[in-house]
Amino acid sequence: MPELMDIAVGGLHFSLRVWRAVDQHKPSTVLLPGTGKTARDWDVIAAGLCAERTVYAVDLRGHGASAWPGTYGIKLFAEDVVGILEQLDIGTVDLVGHSLGGLVACVVAAARPEQVRKLVLEDVGFPHPRPPGLPDRPPGALPFDWQMVEQVRPEIDDPDPGWADVVARVTVPTLLIAGGAASPIPQDHIVELADRLANARLTTIASGHLVHETVPDEYLKTLIAFLAD
């Protein structure tokens, strides 16, 4: 079972789920979930990774047990993650991000290449403008702040032109795991992101957008092979 950890960064508190390696031989791994997902989303994957490496799954701001400050954006998420890495003080890490978490991971890897050994992006494409649209709010209590969706969704629909520079500054070895035709993410945008990255490889696991959730065994096999290579 994971332990819970709270870290303070910039006056906000962040909740992490931590799986301590029984016999640590590998760099620690940090997992960033997608929009509306919490650190618990990574439980199965983290349990499969922690034999030789300590694993940290992060509740981003506005998610789960972390602070819900009411102000959100990809840059803010990335600044939070950089602060968390500094507080953990665990040296270089392998950084894994799904969807929104993958975009955040790109910004972190671009800003702090000395802190990221390898980068894994699950079903993440190069950002392109798309018709704006806010999904309907699900009924009842949510494990995330709906204001986060209201603020981040427009940023994804109309992305900053600076993304080209961000991606150009990501130099660490990167694995892109595409979800295939069943995913709502345009797969050609994932191919484009792989082409733009300095040191990337791309593999497709045809399972839709939630690759790690839908086919965890295949995802783990692919992830572990890349991290060990």
Report yes or no: 155 and 221 within 8 Å, Cβ to Cβ.
no
pTM of the full structure: 0.97
Round to whole Å and give the CA distance between 79 and 19: 23
User: Has residue 24 got a pLDDT over 90?
Assistant: no
Percent of all residues in the chain with a pLDDT value above 70, rounded to a whole number: 100
pLDDT tens digit sequence for 166-188? 999 999 999 999 999 999 999 99
Confidence of residue 1 (pLDDT cuts 50, 70, 90): confident
CA distances from 117 to 1, 45, 138, 177, 227 (A): 26, 19, 38, 17, 9
Round to whole Å and give the CA distance between 197 and 189: 12
Domain boundaries of the chain, sorted by first residue: 3-130+141-228
Level-2 CATH architecture, domain 3-130+141-228: 3-Layer(aba) Sandwich (3.40)
SS3 202: strand
Confidence of residue 75 (pLDDT cuts 50, 70, 90): very high
pLDDT tens digit sequence for 105-155? 999 999 999 999 999 999 999 999 999 989 999 999 999 999 999 999 999
